[in-house]
Structure 1
């Protein structure tokens, strides 16, 4: 007689509500649909009727709502996947409708601004666990998501000092089941790290593409015709959602401006090295770039 198969883990939540089923939100729904141990019922919510219709067509959730208050009323966990500039507003709107003991989370790319803005609306009987999955593409909308988006990627958790440890552990388990690695860090440190590894590269990509577009017509045409891989990489990043990145830049302005100032100093140093033929300096900078790329590959982040 063979031993019975081990029982599958029980779902973390009876009901999980995702507000904003775009790239991140729809990927969460897809993974939860596929996994089966995250939630027994999935609820998706968006104010746009066309988005709701598409979510139904894709069968991403058991229930689709336009009314956020209806969407969260019975949820054990609510994840806000709306643009950074709207997270606090939407959070303050749904918090009064959430049931005691539920968990509120979000996936914004900045943390201090979100935590500060939503703080007045927080309830003692609802745990708030901010997160930031470090994964994405340049695409947006319900069709952009995929179940493996978070595999082997980092999800950073930035809980408040008085957050219930059990709620933090539950959200950490949620992201592990999404396929992600997790780390708990301070919100201010999060914002500085993301300013250099994510926000500044996007700012540079948008700026470089804008510079190319501002060139004289003949030169711009040649740029588009003869674009090499380096420029194509920038255009991929620059194809990202403008509203999302506007909100990120404005909500993380202090850390981003600090990193931009440091980058400009380093760019000036590189310009001086090129002007004066300082080969050692140039090679050193290139080697450091190569080393970072190798480290990313070894860490399975590239």
Structure 2
């Protein structure tokens, strides 16, 4: 799909009094940061679904969701919840998408919509495709919002405000199903863009996956330093290093799966970064001031554009 033809847009978030919910019953499988934020948005605004059901395999997580009061019903049985759903949203790690889809799709009623929030799209679509039914539309999505925290306590209703949600519908996905999922995310406050799955993975490899890989690696390098130097690094950490540690505090299982399942695109971006890092190293070694200043100025321009685009 031509991304240039899909201009960014964002609709005002309507109130419950102004418009009916998108779905009667929304089932969220995996009430972590993203899932619990969707649940909170649904409960607080009332425009996503009349009823929301949270599903998690952990009884402890289910108990916490019930205690927080962010779902109308909580269960460990995904298939049982899927029976009554108008939309099932999978908010589980990308490596678990296939098995979870296999458990919920046979139980879903005809016309109900399956969607998910995976950070990789080609691998997730490939994992889910064997279990798809022609009478259950599937709308892949990726809300590009988050923090380093996880679990049901980490979510908040405004997480998606002014953040991008990327939709990667299949050629066979009915237009009304795409519209419904698009409306759900618009009512979460997100800005929408549609693109092809492979293009999504290359974009996210650069803007999300590579920065996380670098953060984990830099923190690992610091941790491997000699004891005295390591202590000083931790004692005198400046804001730049602290920013890396914030990213590096992210969930290890989730990011392990993302790295492995977006392997090709991530390695491509890593190779390009390493070439650019080597070029910067040469500029520093030989005193190429113009090259160094050019790279710094380009970084400043990118930061300015993010601020202007309300993404920083």
How high is the TM-score relative to the length of structure 1? 0.98
CA distance in 1, matches of 2:49, 2:149: 26
Deviation at 1:38, TM superposition (A): 1.0
Superposition deviation, residue 11 in structure 1: 1.1
Residue 139 of structure 1 corresponds to which residue in structure 2? 149
- Among 181, 185, 193, the residue aligned to 2:203: 193
Q: By how many angstroms is 1:263 displaced?
A: 0.2
1:90 corresponds in structure 2 to 100
For 1:256 and 1:212, locate their aligned partners in 2 and report how far apart those are by CA, in whole Å.
23
> Counterpart in 2 of 1:157?
167
Supply the distance in 2 between the matched residues of 1:11 and 1:133 (Cα, whole angstroms): 20
Report the alpha carbon displacement of residue 93 of structure 1 after superposing the two structures with TM: 1.4
CA distance in 1, matches of 2:306, 2:104: 39
1:14 aligns with 2:27: no
**Whole-Å separation in 1 of the counterparts to 2:247 and 2:264:** 22
TM-aligned CA deviation for residue 8 of structure 1: 2.2
1:173 aligned onto 2:174: no
Structure 1 residue 7 displacement after superposition: 5.2
Please state if 1:53 is matched with 2:63.
yes
**1:228 corresponds to 2:238:** yes
Cα shift at 1:92: 1.4
User: 1:299 corresponds to which residue?
Assistant: 309
Unaligned runs of 5+ in 2: 1-15
So what's the TM-score if we normalise by structure 2? Answer: 0.94
Aligned residue among 264, 268, 277 for 2:274: 264
Distance 1:298 1:131 in 2: 25
> Following superposition of structure 1 onto structure 2, how do residues 275-290 of structure 1 map, counting pairs within 5 Å?
275-290=285-300
CA distance in 2, matches of 1:191, 1:231: 27
Return the alpha-carbon distance in structure 2 between the equivalents of residues 11 and 156 of structure 1.
21
Deviation of 1:89 after TM superposition, in Å, equals 1.2
Length, aligned pairs only: 298
1:255 is matched with 265
1:65 aligns with 2:78: no
Asked if residue 237 in structure 1 is aligned to residue 280 in structure 2, the reply is: no
Q: After TM superposition, what 4+ stretches of structure 1 lie above 2 angstroms from structure 2?
A: none
SS state of the match for residue 136, structure 1? coil
Task: Compare relative contact order (CA 8 Å, sep 6+) and give the higher one, 1 or 2.
Answer: 2
Q: Secondary structure at the match of 2:142?
A: strand
CA distance in 1, matches of 2:39, 2:118: 17
- Show the 5 A alignment for 1:32-43: 32-43=42-53
Cα 1:251–1:60, aligned 2, differ >3 Å: closer, same or farther?
same
Partner of 1:3: none
Counterpart CA distance in 1 for 2:105 and 2:24 is 18
